[in-house]
Amino acid sequence: MLNGTLYLPPVFETVGVKAHDFLSIYRAESLVQTLAEGIRTSAHSNIRLKGLHGSLDTVIFAAVYKSVRSSHVLIAQDKEEASYILNDLQHLLGEKEVLYFPMSYKKPYEYDEIENANILMRSEVLNVINGHPEGNIIVTYPEAISEKVINKKVACYKHVFNQERRNIRPCFLEEFLHSYDFEKTDFVFEAGQFAIRGGIIDVFSFAHELPYRIELFGEEVDSIRSFDPGSQLSVETIDKISLMPNVQTRLVQEERQSLFDFISPATRIWLKDVEMTRDIVEKCFEKASASFDKILRESGQTKVVLEPDQLFNTGEAIMKSLGDLSCIEFGSRYTLEARHIYEFNSSAQPSFNKNFELLAANLLEQQELSYSNFISTEQPRQVERLHGIFEEIHPEIKFQSLDFSLRQGFVDHVQKIVCYTDHQIFERFYRYRHKEKFSKSKSLTFRELQTLQPGDFVTHIDYGIGKFAGLEKKEVNGHEQESIRLVFRDDDLLTVSIHALHKISKYSGKDGTPRRLVSW
C-alpha cells in the first residue's frame, strides 16, 4: 500500500494481478464495507443488491466473504450458471473455499441415472457442514435444492479409522465395508468402492473427494494416504480416515429433510431470482409425483419407493425455509421484502465483434476518464497478443492483466474499473471446469487380464494401441510385483504396474477397421 492506495504491478508486466490483490480493491471500497457490515448484523432480514453486471456479482461476493466469514449458500438460476459462478469463486478465493452441491440424479425416480460423483459432492457438503457449521460457501441451483438430503443423525453415520489404532484385520475391514454397502472391485474409481490387494486396501469414501490407501505390514497399519485414482500417485499422508456409506441407497428409508434445515440458521442465502427458483422446485416436485404414480401403476400399486414429499421439496416448502433465513437478492428481478438496499453502478462488457480498433478506442476513452483497465486472461500468450495489437493501434493504451479468468467482464463506474475478459474480446467459447470425476470405465479387470493371450490388441490410456506381451515379475521397493508387458510400433516395450491396470482396456475398434500399433 502506498499512501493508502493499492500498488499494482506496472504496465506491460508479464506477471498478472493476483486475485487477492484485485479483491483488496473491493474490500477497501466503502459501499462493500457497508454491505459486509449490513450482512453481518442482518439476522433474519433480507438485503437487495442492485446494479451488478457480469462477474462483478462474484467479485463483490468474494470481497464480502473475506470480511464476513459466516456460511453462505449461493443459488444460481440453473446448473450451467452455477458451474460458471463456482469457477469464478474458485479463481477468486481458491478451490478449497468453495463447495458444489449438485442434484444426485438427472430425473426423479430414474435411479439408474444416479451419478456417484454427484452423490460424493453432496455427501462432502453435508460432511463439511456437520464438522464445520460456520464459514462455508456452497454453490447450488434449484433442481439440486429440490432434492431432500439425509437428516443430521444419519449424516453422522460414519466410521473413523485412526492410524493410532495400529492393527486392522483385512477380513474384518472387508466385512465392515460390505455392511456399509461398499462394492468390492479390482481398483477403485468412484465413491462407494473398495479393493484389497495383498497388504494394500483402497477405499473410496463418500466423505472425501479422493480415495484412501491403507498399507499394512501384516495386520499393522504402516501408512494411510489419499491418492489420485487416475495416476495412482499419493496426494498426502493422513492420520485418520472417515468412511461414509452411500446414503442414497443404504439409508433410503431414513427420514429426509431440506438442505435449509440442515445448515446453520445463521447461513446467508444469495439468490438471483426467487420466483424462478420456486417455480423450478415446484416443477421438479410435479415431475417426481408423475414418476411416482407411473411406478405405482407398473408395480400393481405396490409402493416400492418413497413418496415424492419424502424425497423432494415443494415450492411452498422452499419459500417457507427462505422466510426463516437471511436472503440476499442480487439479480434483476426482486421478490422478497428487503430491509436494506445497496445500489451499485456497473454495466456489462460491450461486444466489440473482434474489432480491435473499437476495443482500443473504448479502453483509451475509459483511460482518459481515469478508469483503470484490467483484462482477465486464461493464457499469458493472450496478454502478449493484446500488447502487440495495442502497440500497433494505440501505444498509449495502458492495461493490467489479471492472472485468473472470470466468466464475464464488467465496467464498475463507482470504482472506475474496467474489467474485460479475453474470451469475450476474441469471441471465444469459455467453458467452466469441474473437478475431475472418477467413474467406472472399460478398464481391464483381473479376470479379463487372465484371458488375454500374447498378441491380443489392447489400448493404453496414455500411449494408444499396443499388443499384450504377457506378464513378468519385477522388484519394486524390495517387494516382488507383477507387471504387464505391452509392445507398440517399432517394438517399443512398455512395462505397466499391475496397480495401473485401470489404464488398459481391450481394443474396441469398429468391425473391419484394421488395427494399427502406435509408437510412443
Q: Is 462 exposed, middle or buried (0-12, 13-18, 19+ CB in 10 A)?
A: exposed
Give the number of other CB atoms < 10 A from CB of residue 452. 19
For 26-91, the DSSP string reads: HHT-HHHHHHHHHHHH-TT--EEEES--TTHHHHHHHHHHHH--S-EEEE-SSHHHHHHHHHHHHH
394 Cβ contact list (under 8 Å, min separation 6): 360, 361, 363, 364
Interatomic CA distance for residues 119 and 252, integer angstroms: 13
Please state, in angstroms and as integers, the Cα–Cα distance from residue 321 to each residue in 42, 249, 500, following that order: 17, 26, 48
Phi-psi region of 22 (alpha: psi -120 to 50; beta: other; left: phi over 0): alpha
Pairing state between β 72-75 and 212-217: unpaired
Provide the β-strand partners of residue 464: 460
Residue 230 CB contacts under 8 Å (≥ 6 apart), including other chains? 436, 438
Contact yes or no for 204/246 (Cβ under 8 A): no
Residue bearing cell 429440490: 146
Q: pLDDT digit string (tens) for 35-67?
A: 999 999 877 889 999 999 999 999 999 999 998
3-state DSSP call for residue 168?
Answer: coil
**Mean pLDDT (whole number) for 297-311:** 74
Query: So what's the pLDDT on residue 251?
Result: 44
**Tens digits of per-residue pLDDT, 338-365?**
999 999 999 999 999 889 999 999 999 9
Burial letters for 225-247: b for 16+ Cβ neighbours within 10 Å, e otherwise? bbbebeebeeeeeeeebebbbbb
In the prediction, which pLDDT does 363 show? Answer: 96
pLDDT at 116 over 70: no
Q: Which grid coordinates are listed for 186? A: 479390482
Confirm if 1 and 40 have CB atoms less than 8 A apart.
no
Largest CA distance in the chain: 78
**209, 127 in Cβ contact below 8 A?**
no
Q: pTM of the prediction? A: 0.72
Residue 372 to residues 25, 52, 149, 239, Cα–Cα distance (Å): 12, 18, 46, 48
Mind listing the domains of the chain with CATH numbers? 19-153+259-343 (3.40.50.300), 158-243 (3.30.2060.10), 346-425 (no CATH), 446-506 (2.40.10.170)
pLDDT tens per residue across span 369-425: 999 999 998 888 888 899 999 999 999 999 999 999 999 999 999 999 999 999 999
Q: How far is CA 176 from CA 42, 170, 181, 182, 211, in A?
A: 47, 10, 9, 9, 17
Q: Residue 240 and residue 407: Cα distance in Å, rounded?
A: 38
Residue 271 to residues 36, 82, 112, 158, 275, Cα–Cα distance (Å): 17, 11, 31, 33, 10
Distance, in Å, from the CA atom of 420 to the CA atom of 373, rounded to the nearest integer, reads 8
Q: How many CB atoms lie within 10 A of CB 427?
A: 10
Is residue 375 helix, strand or coil?
strand
- Bridge partners of 177, per DSSP, are none
State the pLDDT confidence band at 165, using cuts at 50, 70 and 90: low
Q: Which residues contact 289 (CB under 8 A, 6 or more apart)?
A: 308
Half-sphere exposure of 493 (CA within 13 A, CB side): 8
Q: What is the mean pLDDT of residues 96-106?
A: 87
pLDDT at 429: 86
Residues 6+ positions from 401 with CB-CB distance below 8 Å = 16, 17, 374, 375, 376, 377, 380, 383
